[in-house]
Chain A
């Protein structure tokens, strides 16, 4: 990924956070443009706090309509879902 970013700085590089249960949820690594945290590992309050700091977030995997609507409401950058039909405008 380092090679890719050096040679193609126009690509966005995202970090997947919480892929494995023991993985830390760390939003601090400046290598990444966007952070994709597992939604079950973060609270809405943590997400709001990161957004307020200017961190770009695309949580995964967000499937229930209520959570999708809530995240959109608080200004989430993006979300990864198995139900894109629920997020469509």
Chain B
């Protein structure tokens, strides 16, 4: 059978690249979720697709003088201050709220959700005994001092020791 991989979580039903979107993907039967790994100014790994973060967070309201600077110029604590869920109800990006596929209580649960760290993503994946496919962002340029196998302050080691298989889908430009 084909492996159904939920792109950024169940992003038609919940705000992409959040833990609620991952949980939703699991709930609807996905075999795996795909997500995007980005790095902060202070070398912390987290989940984000767009460089400028404006589409999927309230960063334009929180840091109006800094947008559209890329995510790599923000610290983890700044990124953790963002609301990564409220935009979903406002934008209904796949029209699934309009057709009644997202309940009112689910919509309410999206408000104020945080941008997840990679550690949280791994912890959830382990909790669900599930699989994740990581896409590595091309931005910023590879850091010479950044160990891609055991990056600083990361949960990679724990995840790798767990016996789960992690799938990594690199952009071809990422050679680490």
Does more than half of chain A's interface fall in helix, strand or loop, or is it mixed? mixed
Are A15's CB and B170's CB within 8 A?
yes
A50 within 8 Å of B by Cβ? no
Give the segment of B3-11, B50-58, B77-85, B119-127 that binds chain A.
Answer: B3-11
The answer to whether A82 and B94 touch (CB under 8 A), given A1-B168, A14-B133, is yes
CB 8 Å contact bits of B140-176 with A (1 = contact, 0 = none):
0000000011000000000010000111111110111
Q: Is the interface of B mostly helix, strand, loop or mixed?
A: loop
B56 to chain A, nearest CB (A): 14
Whether A4 touches B169, Cβ cut-off 8 Å, given contacts A78-B4, A84-B30, is no
Closest to B167 in A: A12
B149, B169, B175: most-surrounded residue (chain A CB, <10 A): B169
Partner of B170, one of A1, A7, A75, A84: A1
Given contacts A77-B3, A84-B28, A89-B29, contact A11 B165 (CB under 8 A): yes
Knowing A4-B148, A15-B172, A19-B171, say if A85 contacts B160 (CB, 8 Å): no
- A79-B4 contact in complex given A1-B175, A2-B175, C-beta closer than 8 Å: yes
A29 CB to nearest chain B CB (Å):
8
What is the CA–CA distance of A33 and B31 in the complex, to the nearest angstrom?
18
CA distance A78 to B34 in the complex (A): 12
Q: Is the beta-carbon distance between B30 and A88 smaller than 8 angstroms? A: yes
Scoring A13, A72, A77, A85 by chain B CB atoms within 10 A of each residue's CB, the highest score goes to A85
Q: Tell whether A55 is near chain B: CB-to-CB under 8 Å.
A: no
Kindly identify, within residues 1 to 23 of chain A, every residue whose CB is under 8 Å from any CB belonging to chain B: 1-4, 7-8, 10-16, 19, 23
Do A80 and B7 touch (CB < 8 A)? yes
**Assuming A3-B176, A4-B149, A82-B12, is B167 touching A14 (CB within 8 A)?**
yes
B128 proximal to A (CB < 8 A):
no
- Contacting residue for A84 out of B29, B167, B174, B176, CB 8 A: B29
B7's partner among A7, A23, A61 (CB-CB below 8 A) is A61
Q: Is the CB of B30 within 8 A of A14?
A: no
Contacts of A77 in B (CB 8 A): 2-3
Task: Please list the 3 inter-chain residue pairs (A to B) with the smallest Cβ-Cβ separation, ordered nearest first.
Answer: A88-B29, A78-B3, A14-B169
Residues of B within 8 A of A (CB): 1-8, 10-13, 25, 28-32, 34, 94, 101, 133, 135-136, 148-149, 160, 165-172, 174-176
- Can you list 10 residue pairs at the A/B interface with Cβ under 8 Å? A1-B174, A11-B168, A15-B169, A15-B172, A16-B172, A61-B7, A77-B2, A80-B34, A82-B12, A88-B30
